[in-house]
């Protein structure tokens, strides 16, 4: 269980909410997690249960059915699920896609989609990455050509989180292929549209419960009213929303690192070698002391970043630095914690194996560590 005694970003209301999240997860997540990992997808029933419990999109305004809470409540959910090793894709909806529709959607779009997202009736995805375009979103090749009162969408996307479950996809496409970043727009595409096809559920190293897919668009026609915001403003919207996405990754990474550390402490204090516990060896204690120090710094930094975000002050460079630091820290802690497990750490029956596998992609998605360094360097 995460220790909250030294946290500074949360208040008593956040703590009470955290108790509800923990009870919900113990009841609705933990009993099914191994099965979801094996099947590579989460039951839609979980989404509806999360909606009923107020755990989807809690920051959305009450006029759309939300709770009107601050982002700290999203962070609580992210931390608790990450500490459990439950990478379910819920944060994608609450932290990312809901924000796009809230900030850039028409009132009609908001009234129609947000209540369904809050209840768990509708699952959303955002289709950015393509086979030939990852962190460089200006390089997307998918097109959305205006044809009268419709857009005709063609292209393919890959590594799309919630791609198998998604009912609604925010598609990043070029409405003007010659305009570079100024030609990128965001289009809402319902999964029921003719010409839309899901590819296979991709076989990932980790985060296996969160379905990830290829998506294909072949002359998919949607009404012009499915444009999200203004045509040609998509790249600006993406750059505006990416800081929260990167903070969300940092939050999950820090909680995952803490869980890996806690697993290592428990295992080394129980496991015996040469007549004493593994913890009693100086190398073990020094390794854990170093990790404990890094985690202490990590939690302090995370609360600083979260507090700045809650005040609307977190910059793109600061969010990128948080994503860089905490994702790299998570893998470092997971790797050293696995090493302290010895051969047991390589066995999937131990929690550390899943934590180690799940941590690796955090240095890639949401912008690679190398891209984070590029963004940070521009601000120096």
From first to last of the 380 residues of the chain, give the pLDDT tens digit. 788 778 999 999 999 999 999 999 999 999 999 999 999 999 999 999 999 999 999 999 999 999 999 999 999 999 999 999 999 999 999 999 999 999 999 999 999 999 999 999 999 999 999 987 766 677 799 999 999 999 999 999 999 999 999 999 999 999 999 898 899 999 999 999 999 999 999 999 999 999 999 999 999 999 999 999 999 999 999 999 989 999 999 999 999 999 999 999 999 999 999 999 999 999 999 999 999 999 999 999 999 999 999 999 999 999 999 999 999 999 999 999 999 999 999 999 999 999 999 999 999 999 999 999 999 999 99
Task: Please state, in angstroms and rounded to a whole number, the distance separating the CA atoms of residues 127 and 106.
Answer: 20
CA 293/CA 124 separation, integer angstroms:
38
Residue 6 confidence (pLDDT) = 83
Nearest to 97 by CA among 75, 117, 67: 117
Token readout for 27 is 């009841």
Return residue ranges of the chain for CATH 2.40.110.10: 125-232
User: Which residues of the chain form CATH 1.20.140.10?
Assistant: 236-378
Q: Does CATH place domain 12-122 in 1.10.540.10? A: yes
Question: What stretch(es) of the chain map to CATH 1.10.540.10?
Answer: 12-122
DSSP E strands in the chain: the ranges are 124-127, 143-147, 150-161, 168-174, 184-190, 196-201, 212-223, 227-228, 272-273, 276-277
Round to whole Å and give the CA distance between 277 and 272.
4
How much is the pLDDT for 134? 66
Query: For domain 125-232, which architecture applies?
Result: Beta Barrel (2.40)
Which CATH number describes the domain made up of 236-378?
1.20.140.10
245: annotated active-site residue: yes
Residues near 206 by beta carbon (within 8 Å), at least 6 away in sequence: 87, 354, 356, 357, 358, 359, 360, 361
Nearest in space to 53 (alpha carbons), one of 26, 31, 82: 26
Whether 319 contacts 243, CB under 8 Å = yes
37, 79, 245, 318: the active-site residue = 245
């Amino acid at each position: 269980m995460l220790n909250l005694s030294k946290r500074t970003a949360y208040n008593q209301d956040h703590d009470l909410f955290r108790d509800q999240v923990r009870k919900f997860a113990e009841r609705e997540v933990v009993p099914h997690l191994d099965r979801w990992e094996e099947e590579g997808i989460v039951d839609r029933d979980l989404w509806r249960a999360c909606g009923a419990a107020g755990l989807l999109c809690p920051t959305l305004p009450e006029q759309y059915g939300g709770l009107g809470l601050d982002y700290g409540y999203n962070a609580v959910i992210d931390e608790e699920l990450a500490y459990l090793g439950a990478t379910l894709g819920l944060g994608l909806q609450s932290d990312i896609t809901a924000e796009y529709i809230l900030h850039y959607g028409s009132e009609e779009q908001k009234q129609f989609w947000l209540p369904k997202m809050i209840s768990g009736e509708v699952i959303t995805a955002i289709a950015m990455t393509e086979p030939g375009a990852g962190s460089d979103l200006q390089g997307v090749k998918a097109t959305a050509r205006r044809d009268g009162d419709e857009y005709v969408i063609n292209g393919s996307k890959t590594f799309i989180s919630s791609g198998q479950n998604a009912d609604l996809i925010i598609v990043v496409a070029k409405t003007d292929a010659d305009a570079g970043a100024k030609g990128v727009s965001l289009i809402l595409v319902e999964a029921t549209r003719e010409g839309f096809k899901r590819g296979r559920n991709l076989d990932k190293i980790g985060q296996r419960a969160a379905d990830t897919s290829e998506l294909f668009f072949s002359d998919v026609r949607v009404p012009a009213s499915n444009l999200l915001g203004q045509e040609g403003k998509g790249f600006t919207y993406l750059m505006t929303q990416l800081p929260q996405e990167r903070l969300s990754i940092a939050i999950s990474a820090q909680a995952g690192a803490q869980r890996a550390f806690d697993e290592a402490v428990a295992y080394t204090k129980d496991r015996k070698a040469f007549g004493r516990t593994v913890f009693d060896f100086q190398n073990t204690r020094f390794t854990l002391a170093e990790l404990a120090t890094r985690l202490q710094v990590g939690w302090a930094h995370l609360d600083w970043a979260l507090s700045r975000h809650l005040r609307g002050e977190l910059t793109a460079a600061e969010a990128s630095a948080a994503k860089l630091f905490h994702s790299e820290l998570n893998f470092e802690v997971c790797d050293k914690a696995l090493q302290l497990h010895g051969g047991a750490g390589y066995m999937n029956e131990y929690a550390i194996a899943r934590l180690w596998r799940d941590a690796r992609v955090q240095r890639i998605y949401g912008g690679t560590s190398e891209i984070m360094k590029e963004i940070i360097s521009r601000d120096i």
